[in-house]
Structure 1
Amino acid sequence: MDATTVVGCFRDRTILVTGSTGFLGKMLVEKMLRVQPDLRKLYLLVRAPDDAAAEQRVLDEVVGKELFDVLRQEHGDNFHSFIKEKVAPLAGDIIHEEFGLDSSKIKQLYEEIDIIINGAAVTNFYERYDVALASNTFGTANVCQFAKQCTKVQMLLHVSTGKCVTARYELCYSA
């Protein structure tokens, strides 16, 4: 499969991304917006108390980064309208069933989402076990449960880090 085929997979698709504020997530969002501007919508699920805080977090921690300078130059004065049209921040968390979203929003997502990319995880070696387990294990199960409810979903991509296994290893062998 060549790059053109992969890029074509995102054309006219609605995509849910978790973990977009992380290192890999930011690069993924930027790359998708740059190489496939014809994607329909990118929903970015971020931990935030409300939609306004989610939007601000995405603006500060994702699209506000230097990584997006190429897109900023490409779109010039239309950059913010392009982002507003393509990116929809969602205030939620994978540790909760249905991500803690209200029923009308979750129903809308069930009907719209074509692709899910789950990159949310706790990668801190020193995080409490229950916190890491909630995100890295139960959170992934919640994403899978969500995907089963989506009527149009064509793909669920789960991205994991080696740190998840290492954290488990440290826990199993700690004194």
Structure 2
Amino acid sequence: MKELGIRRAKLFGWPNTYVFTKAMGEMLLGHSRGDLPMVILRPTIITSVQSDPLPGWIEGTRTIDSVIIGYAKGKITCFFGDLDNIMDVVPGDMVVNAMMATMAAHSGQPAELVYHMSSSVRNPVTYATLEHCGFRYFLANPRVGRDGSVMPTKRLRFIKSMVGFRVLMTLRYKLPLEVSPYTHPCTILPHAF
């Protein structure tokens, strides 16, 4: 089903099933709304809230938050990307506020309106900001392991090029697996009889 969905999305000009199904939902709403006013708000990456109910709050783990948690746990040590690139994130409470404002501003209007909500023009946040803030936060508030020991906070390494990423993956993962006696097809392991 996954492959069929991807083929179908690409057939209609969408890069993946995620954006394709979102577009299908918007089209369905547009066709079935009748005379009801409709406002579609398309936020970029929604992340934890800025202030309400408290700064940094989020329910569940989605999008960029899973990367932050992986870094905090020491599971993600490097990231493929450019520190100068803008990470287009919007706090969840700002998305909710924008939804309420657009509904109030356009109530009673039979038009169909679409708004794109992002932060990159007025308040750009770079990956360098994410790395710096994450490092500072976890340095001041280190995670504690199950045994009560403090987990060390290390800087997240960013890799700009695919060549650099492939070299790292080869040196760190592929070569050690290839030289391991347990993975080599010609290795005869002693058996306990």
Q: Which has the higher helix share?
A: 1
User: What TM-score, normalized by structure 2, do the two folds share?
Assistant: 0.23
User: What TM-score, normalized by structure 1, do the two folds share?
Assistant: 0.24
Structure showing greater Rg: 2
